[in-house]
A and B are shown apart, each in its own frame.
Chain A
Amino acid sequence: MPGILSTLSFAQPLAFAGALLIPLLVLAYLKKRQRKTRVVSSVVILEQLAKRRVTRRRFRPPLRFFLELLALIALIGAASLPWYRDTSERVALVLDTSMSMRTRNDSLAPQPTRFAEAIETANRWLDQQSSSTRISLFQSSPRLTALGAKDLSPTAAKTVLSGADAGIGTDSLDTALTELAESGDYVRVVAITDRTVRYFGDPPRSAADDSQDTTILDAQPVGQPRPNLYLAGLRFSESLDYVGQRTVIADVGLSGSEPVVAQLELFELGEDKHVTPRSIAKGRVTAQPNSSVEAELLLPPGRSPDLLYKVELSAAEDALATNALLDDDAGWIGDGNSAENLILLVSATGGQNSLGLKRLPGAEIVVVSPREYAVLRDEELARFTLLLFHRTAPAKLPPTPALLILPPEQNPHFPVLTDAQTPRITSWAGDHPITSYLRVPLLTPSQGAIFSVPPWAQSVVNAEPGCVLAAGETQGVRYAAVGFELLPFEGAKTPVTSILTLNLIAWLSGGGELTQNSLNAGGIRLEGGRRWVIRTPAHETVEVEVPAGKTEIFQAGAPGPYRLAGFAHGTPGKEQVRKVVTVNNFAPEESSTFVPMELSLPHMVEHGRLPSAGENPLWGYLLAVALLLLVGEYLWFLLRPVPEALGV
């Protein structure tokens, strides 16, 4: 109890002035007790009772006085808005589960990977916490997800951690940390990660400021810089040396300080899972530090376009010393499969500007008019990876990531400003000069940045001075709005669309790149109304039932080809859809394991002043007590027996 009293606070202490009403209540009862004069028809009967007169009586208030006194005290207490702060600390522990955490350490034992090191660091950190600390565990990849229940004890948190593992995807750690820190739910947010952590909120406060309205944002670094060979991309190309033959071009990257000789091998997988991969070509290339080189692997003539091919990369010498991450050393590529990404283009101009988009590999464009868009339901919109609004804007924020392209003449203001609820730019997909230029921390629509086109960007962005750009994320859905033309397409010899557009699309769709038949370590979209049978690269079969009108994402746990068969409900055995989706780990930021950590933490993050989850208001209880007392008093005196009357 003393502990609670020490944490008791009052938001309106002036309400205690209401205690002055207590003497008034006593006075009211004293006055009521005083003699009243009543005129009666006759005192003949009454004067016979008066013989029982008591000369002096003590003040003995009735029961209702005490009920009203207690109710008054409760009301005064409630008006002072009391609350107590839960003294047990609520801490969020965010575990980086992105692919880079699978990087092998220099000395493999006892911590073979960065993730194992992270688990050990987390356990060590948990051991230092008091038993009253309440821990909420999160994993960062592919999105911020809670691990286990909220508010675990340190011991329970360690149990949950023992079952965690690093994935093959990227993450948005900066977004996750910023959102957690600004939620006001935690006194401390700790990230265990191997990468640089940035905070995109308000300017940090001094670490010495121990105000209760701040959250400490902290990071525990793991891993040392390690060189790594990785595949950065695969594509088909026509051979320059052998006319009519196709080649597979592999982009080989190296994160390190010294050139490394890399070996590449091309395998043919065939159409069925039982066909053993067969080596059909080999190559060798010298990878250069912090850049990528192309390696050409020649396809034998007459290969079926439906075949799948796998490229494996390895270091020619001393694999452990030159290639710390193995998950980014294989890539798959196929041909002739259907596109995976549906993009809805809502165009006020009939979609003639979408010609460039239609040439994007891996994207299927559906063009509708604003009028047609207005009748689409949310379930129908969920089928699309992305919504593009060209020279038009929706009446309300859609449930799917959306890009609004509103050139100045159509763009006096952003119609969806109020719905966006101040989204913030927290991360960007790549480091292209244009996106670097556009990285504006804390950019909100109401504070849209004026876009001044730098000279080197004018060839790819048809922008005019004074355009506004705003982008951000709200409730897990990303939005961007640009005040310039993003879809210029002037013929076959020009780029299909600008790098800025591609980067925006990549950012909006959650990091997945639009490449033909390939997803980059993302989830595989499963349409509703079907039972999906998915054969994984490990030859396991997974069945997923997706209700009609909904879309589910199957998270690919490992790279490789995923064979999907979708069956319609009610017709067992009859396939409706069959396709192959290859999942690759082309994520240069995850493969760059040689980049040293840059820690700009800890930050002191100020959040709102309202009582947060750790602060428990009490005024509701006091109000309820007061009401109960008053209702009780009313019922008691309403239902009490009346004095016995003379029978007439």
Chain B
Amino acid sequence: MIAPFTPSFYKRLQQLKIRTRRTFVGSRQGSHRSLRKGHGLEFADFRAYAAGDDFRHIDWGVLARTDRMYVREFREEQDLNVVVLLDTSASMGFPEHQQKFELARSLALALGYVALTDGDTVTFSLLGRLNSPRFVGPRAIARAQRILGEATPGGSFDLLTETRAAIARQRIPGKCFFISDFLGDLDGIFATFDYLRSKNFEIVALQVLAPSELTLELDATCLVVDAESGREVELSLDGSSAKEYAIKLADHIERLEQFANRSGIDHLLIPSNQTVDEVVLSRLPEAGILK
């Protein structure tokens, strides 16, 4: 179950809006600038009159000066197709009691609500589990909450395959929020991002990590088991291991970040001991992901 948001938090979310760098074609009228020209308030261009054009769009001033008929075109404002990809693999459930998955799905819900209140279309994709229908309108948040609340982390899957399956249902591109710990093989992660980019999605990668993953907190001698692959590694740690771990982890995150920068992906590292309020109301706007 997701901890219910407070009314004041909902009100704050209603004031937020998803920011995009690019312009997308929407499926219906909305609040985002669209590539599609037609009815709208924002002037886009002139073009020569063609049979069938609405007389009301003929620029009579140009006709009077040049004796040629031109019609004015307007940029339409359409909705944004928002896809929230939530990693539900077993790795999101470890380490136990550190609220990694809880924060991840709360973030998904909060982002979904921001989009729905702005008139956007939202699809929640619980990777390896299910894909929700396309939600429209704020009232759909209750169903979204139920779907997300019933999700539990577990199992193992190929990230690219599951992402392909989720995106296959999307007819138009849009904004994709990818929430995961991104602690797997980086090549696989990069391939997934590349696939999303190939589908013209603007990607935001939210990397949720537990404090005990940011800092090495293990016994001197222990056998660690990968929650997904079941791979076992025997560790013998000493005094310098903590520092070494910090360097390796920093390197992993830096490579992810470098790829993100090259590919126009927004990447944000979120410790799971931060609250959803703190992340959504403060960190995401600061990073330019919400406005």
Contacts and interface: CB of A to CB of B under 8 A. Distances in A.
Interface of A: 33-50, 52-54, 57, 642-646, 648
Main secondary structure of the interface of B (DSSP, over half): mixed
Contacts of A644: 215, 242-243, 246
A34 to B, nearest CB: 7
Contact of B184 (A37, A42, A645): A42
**Closest CB pairs A-B (n = 7):** A42-B183, A643-B242, A41-B91, A645-B215, A41-B94, A43-B226, A646-B214
A52 B236 contact: yes
Given A35-B221, A37-B223, A42 B245 contact: no
A46 B183 CA distance: 11
A43 B242 CA distance: 15
Contacts of A35: 221-223, 234
B150 interface: no
A46 B236 contact: no
Given A645-B246, A646-B249, A41 B223 contact: no
Contact of A52 (B181, B228, B238): B238
Nearest to B226: A43
A50 B246 CA distance: 14
Given A39-B224, A40-B226, A42-B228, 17 more contacts: A35-B221, A38-B218, A40-B94, A40-B95, A40-B224, A41-B93, A41-B226, A42-B184, A43-B233, A44-B252, A46-B233, A48-B248, A54-B236, A643-B217, A644-B246, A648-B214, A648-B269
Contacts of A36: 219, 221-223
B213 interface: yes
Nearest to A37: B223
B235 interface: yes
B211 interface: yes
B275 interface: no
B91 A34 contact: no
A52 to B, nearest CB: 7
Contacts of B214: 645-646, 648
Interface in B177-230: 181, 183-185, 210-211, 213-229
Nearest to B253: A646
A640 to B, nearest CB: 12
For chain B, give the interface size range: 35 or more
B258 interface: no
Given A646-B214, A648-B271, A49 B244 contact: yes
Interface of B: 90-95, 100, 181, 183-185, 210-211, 213-229, 231-238, 241-246, 248-250, 252, 269, 271
A53 B234 CA distance: 8
Contacts of B225: 37-40, 43
Contact of B183 (A45, A49, A642, A645): A45
Nearest to A57: B236
A53 B224 contact: no
Contacts of B269: 648
Contacts of A41: 90-95, 100, 181, 183, 210, 213, 226-228
Nearest to A48: B248
Contacts of A40: 94-95, 213, 224-227
Contacts of A33: 220-221
A648 B207 CA distance: 12
A33 B236 CA distance: 11
A125 B46 CA distance: 137
28 contacts: A33-B220, A35-B221, A36-B221, A36-B223, A38-B218, A38-B222, A38-B224, A40-B213, A41-B95, A41-B100, A41-B213, A41-B226, A43-B224, A43-B225, A43-B226, A43-B231, A44-B252, A45-B248, A46-B245, A47-B233, A48-B248, A49-B241, A49-B248, A50-B236, A645-B215, A646-B215, A646-B249, A648-B269
A50 B213 CA distance: 16
Contacts of B250: 646
Contacts of B248: 45, 48-49
A642 B181 CA distance: 24
A48 B186 CA distance: 14
Contacts of B227: 39-42
Contacts of A643: 215-217, 242-243
